[in-house]
């Protein structure tokens, strides 16, 4: 893959190094010549000095043949504009923008950035998982572009669901148990007739809004 | 008309006075308090501290009730981002954005943004005077 990276700060440098080691072709663009010199001493000629939001620079970088365009400067506005130019002028199939302000997430997506990455959001999600999530329920993923999530729920011995068939447990609407892991680690595909046992773990797809209801239905006594 | 101007640059301050003379209600938004020193002493509108690329700042500046939003900071990308927020998040009816880089200006014009490029305007004007 040919990957163009805008911003040679810490994120850009480590990213360039990592994708190079995986055998991809990389070009790192930054306005600061000194930073680029230091990086080239270590990684070879992989950089271009210039403004990643300027069409001329991107032209010189051969952005039109890039498979992936990644903007990781520390300025949200610069990352947004660089990605929009890559997308609309150079038709890069996939653009990724680093984002500091979590509020910008819906905006960036609406304006055509394919993927947003924010360490703020990752850390926030971790804190949420640690503090407000009941310990029996862990959120595994949020389905992209929807209000659905996938959670992992451990069935405690005190749960009213123990011994019940799945069809007899009243789960919130739009919830589906998609996988069952027995206490002895056996994996099963659940059917409506499968009965839950204490110590089971179930993986459930459901609406984010009804997470508390799901938690009650599967773990409540 | 209620107009929100982002960036109390020379142009921003001058435009604020002109619009006020025309009877419009003007609010200025800038991250640098000293920038408000450029405003005419007769200016009666609001001058607020805030970053126009931040939705919360825009909301505090009353963007939701504005008839027009004009982005006039020195940074093309900040102007472009703020104008897109005003347009696509807050649905401000008239949004204008200054972009110094002619190529970037052309691209965003194609994408539907109402843009002004001082670089091409000045070059054209100088060419006509020779």
Q: Is B15 on the interface with A (CB under 8 A)?
A: no
For the domain covering A128-219, report its CATH number: 3.30.70.1450
Average pLDDT, chain A: 92
**CB A85 to CB B107 under 8 A?**
yes
Predicted TM-score (pTM) of this structure: 0.76
| Closest among A3, A1, A52, A51 to A26, alpha carbons compared | A3
| Closest among B5, B11, B9, B71 to B35, alpha carbons compared | B9
**CB B81 to CB A103 under 8 A?**
no
For the domain covering A2-119, report its CATH number: 3.40.50.720
For tokens 């403004």, the residue is A51
Q: Is B85 on the interface with A (CB under 8 A)?
A: yes
| Closest among B11, B40, B29 to B118, alpha carbons compared | B11
Mean pLDDT of B22-34: 96
CA distance A37 to chain B (A): 26
pLDDT tens, position by position, B12-27? 999 999 999 999 999 9
Mean pLDDT of A93-119: 92
pLDDT tens, position by position, A39-74? 999 999 999 999 999 999 999 999 999 999 999 999
Q: Is A57 on the interface with B (CB under 8 A)?
A: no
pLDDT at position A132 is 62
Task: Indicate if the pLDDT at residue B63 is higher than 90.
Answer: yes
Which burial class, exposed, middle or buried, applies to B100 when counting CB atoms under 10 A from its CB (0-12, 13-18, 19+)?
Answer: middle
Chain B residues touching residue A54 (CB < 8 angstroms): 101, 103-104
Chain A residues touching residue B107 (CB < 8 angstroms): 55, 84-85, 88-89
Pick the CATH number of B2-129 from 3.40.50.720, 3.40.50.1000, 2.40.10.480, 3.30.1360.200: 3.40.50.720
CB nearest A101 (choices: B54, B101, B110): B54
Q: Is B115 on the interface with A (CB under 8 A)?
A: no
Mean pLDDT of A7-21: 95
Domain extent listing, chain B: 2-129
Average pLDDT, chain B: 96
Helices vs strands, H then E, count in chain A: 7, 11
CB nearest B80 (choices: A81, A103, A110): A81
Task: Indicate if the pLDDT at residue A190 is higher than 90.
Answer: yes
pLDDT at position A114 is 93
For A111, the closest chain B residue by CA position comes to B84
Domain extent listing, chain A: 2-119, 128-219
The interface predicted TM-score (ipTM) is 0.88
For B86, the closest chain A residue by CA position comes to A107
Q: Is B50 on the interface with A (CB under 8 A)?
A: no
| Closest among A45, A33, A37, A36 to A12, alpha carbons compared | A36
Rounded to 10 degrees, the C-alpha dihedral A19/A142/B91/B70 comes to -30
Between residues A181 and A120, which one has the greater pLDDT?
A181
**CB A81 to CB B77 under 8 A?**
yes
pLDDT tens, position by position, A157-175? 889 999 999 999 999 999 9
Rounded to 10 degrees, the C-alpha dihedral B79/B83/B89/B90 comes to 120
Picking from B87, B103, B115 by the largest number of A CB atoms within 10 A of its own CB, the best residue to mutate is B103
pLDDT bucket at A133, cuts 50 / 70 / 90 = low
């Amino acid at each position: 893959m040919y990957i163009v990276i805008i911003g040679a700060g810490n994120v850009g440098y480590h990213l360039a190094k990592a994708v190079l080691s995986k055998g991809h072709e990389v070009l790192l663009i930054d306005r600061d010549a000194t930073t680029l010199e230091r990086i080239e001493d270590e990684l070879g000629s992989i950089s271009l000095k210039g403004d990643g939001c300027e069409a001329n620079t991107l032209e010189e970088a051969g952005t039109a043949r890039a498979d992936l365009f990644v903007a990781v400067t520390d300025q949200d506005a610069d990352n947004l504009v660089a990605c929009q130019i890559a997308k609309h002028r150079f038709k890069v199939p996939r653009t990724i923008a680093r984002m500091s302000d979590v509020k910008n997430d819906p905006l960036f997506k609406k304006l055509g950035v394919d993927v947003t990455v924010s360490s703020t959001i990752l850390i926030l999600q971790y804190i949420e998982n640690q503090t407000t999530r009941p310990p029996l329920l862990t959120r595994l993923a949020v389905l992209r572009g929807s209000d659905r999530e996938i959670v992992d729920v451990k069935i405690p011995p005190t749960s009213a669901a123990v011994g019940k068939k799945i069809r007899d447990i009243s789960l919130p609407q739009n919830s589906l148990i998609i996988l069952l892991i027995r206490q002895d680690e056996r994996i099963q595909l659940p059917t409506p007739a499968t009965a839950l046992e204490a110590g089971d773990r179930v993986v459930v797809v459901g609406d984010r809004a009804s997470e508390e209801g799901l938690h009650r239905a599967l773990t409540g006594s | 008309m209620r107009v929100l101007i982002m960036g109390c640059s020379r142009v921003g301050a001058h435009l604020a006075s002109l619009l006020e003379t025309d009877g419009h209600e003007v609010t200025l938004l800038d991250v640098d308090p000293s920038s408000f020193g450029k405003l005419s002493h007769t200016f009666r509108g609001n001058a607020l501290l805030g970053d126009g690329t931040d939705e919360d700042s825009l909301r505090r500046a009353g963007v939701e009730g504005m008839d027009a939003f004009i982005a006039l900071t020195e940074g093309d990308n900040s102007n472009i981002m703020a104008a897109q927020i005003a347009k696509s998040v807050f649905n401000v009816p008239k949004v204008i954005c200054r972009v110094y880089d002619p190529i970037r200006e052309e691209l965003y014009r194609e994408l539907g943004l109402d843009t002004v490029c001082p670089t091409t305007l000045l070059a054209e004007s100088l060419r006509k005077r020779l």
